[in-house]
Amino acid sequence: MAELTRDQRIDLLKDLSQVPGIPGHEVLVAKAMERHLSGLVTTDYDALGSVAFERTADDCQGPRVMLAGHMDEIGFIVKRVTDEGFIKFHQVGGWWDQILLGHRVVIKTRSEDVIGVIGSKPPHILTSEDRKKLVKTKDMFIDIGAKNKEEVEDFGIRIGDPILPVSPFTQMTNPDRLMSKAWDDRVGCGLMVDLFHRLEGESVPNHLIAVGTVQEEVGLRGAQTSAALVEPDVAIALEVSIAGDVPGGNPDEASDKLGDGPSLLLFDRSMIPNLKFRDLVMTLAREHNIPLQPSVMARGGTDAGKIHMHRTGVPSIVLAVPTRYIHAQSGIISLADYEKALDLLTVLVRALDAETVASFRP
């Protein structure tokens, strides 16, 4: 199969974003990526579940280039079932408590999906003081319509079962805008699949390995173990960035905008990028007329934070697609931004020959 058409690209993003995969439960995402890459790659796994894809036709002996996109999404797990049949839950990954009440969720059991809602009191019975209070996750519950604890058990629900928001993929009235759960980081997974289709039959001056990592949202864990599996000479983390172009947005906190192109992360809590690698990305973007948004993130980190510290160090950068409402039930991306990120990733991979990668070292 040659490069994906736009419709195929949208179908890919729909499929990957809708697969359930909270930290520790990413196997279905890995299988979806395997399905979309069938015939193009060989596959290997580390012991945590991160999956590495190598192009079957890639016999180049050049530098080992690692692409990393994490497969996990934020969600919850079942913590306790009350005698009355309500589900108490624990966050897995970072949520803002205020956005949770009243939203539908799905509990993934061994046999079936169980739909519920994060319960909330109607405003009619709240005092004026209660309305001002922020309800904490520890005080919330999920109502699945069960009569009691025994019926919950009959539904097959167990402690530790994963819980995800119900958020169908939607191509919005502006067809450039795509809304779904889990853009963080199925966008990165999609870019890797897309790139391998684009490069089918083409020789590149490096040994290209794409990795779907696990458990990024709970400590960049899969990045650490998969770096040991891949042993990269250079790494590119593919991520989302925070789009601040909304009412009340502050460019000092989040300057990226939807529709203005991909983002290059210049600083985050986990990594300062290799400066020569950073400059190469900026130069290539300018030479190929690809819009690029420089970005700084004071809090948070990416898989590159672990990968760049592997052994004696791996020159690394983060290329991202601006996304509104990350770490929420539904996010919005621009398809044009995604495609520009793919264009930049393509010219970057084509440029990473042995001499260029060697130049990143002091």
Is 216 in the active site?
yes
Residue 118 CA to residue 165 CA, distance in Å, equals 10
Contact (Cβ atoms closer than 8 angstroms) between residue 249 and residue 331: no
Q: What is the distance between the alpha carbons of residues 87 and 105, in angstroms, rounded to a whole number?
A: 11
Does residue 335 contact residue 276 with C-beta atoms inside 8 Å? no
Burial of 47 (0-12, 13-18, 19+ CB in 10 A): exposed
Peptide bond into 130 cis (omega under 30): no
CA distance 150 to 339: 50
**Active-site residue identified among 26, 73, 216, 239:** 216
Q: Name the region of 24 (left: φ>0; alpha: ψ -120 to 50; beta: rest).
A: left
Say if residues 297 and 268 touch (Cβ distance below 8 Å).
yes
Please report how the helices 27-36 and 6-18 are oriented relative to each other, as an axis angle in degrees rounded to 10: 160
Burial zone of 165 (CB within 10 Å; 0-12 exposed, 13-18 middle, 19+ buried)? buried
- DSSP tag of 190: H
Return the bridge partners of 263, or none. 293, 320
Pick the closest to residue 302 from 207, 180, 206, 187 (CA basis).
187
Eight-state DSSP code of residue 356:
H
- Crossing angle, helix 183-198 and helix 6-18, to 10 degrees? 140
- Eight-class DSSP state of 125: G
Look-up of token digits 């991306």:
333
CA atoms in the 13 A half-sphere facing the CB of 57: 10
Just list the catalytic residues. Answer: 216
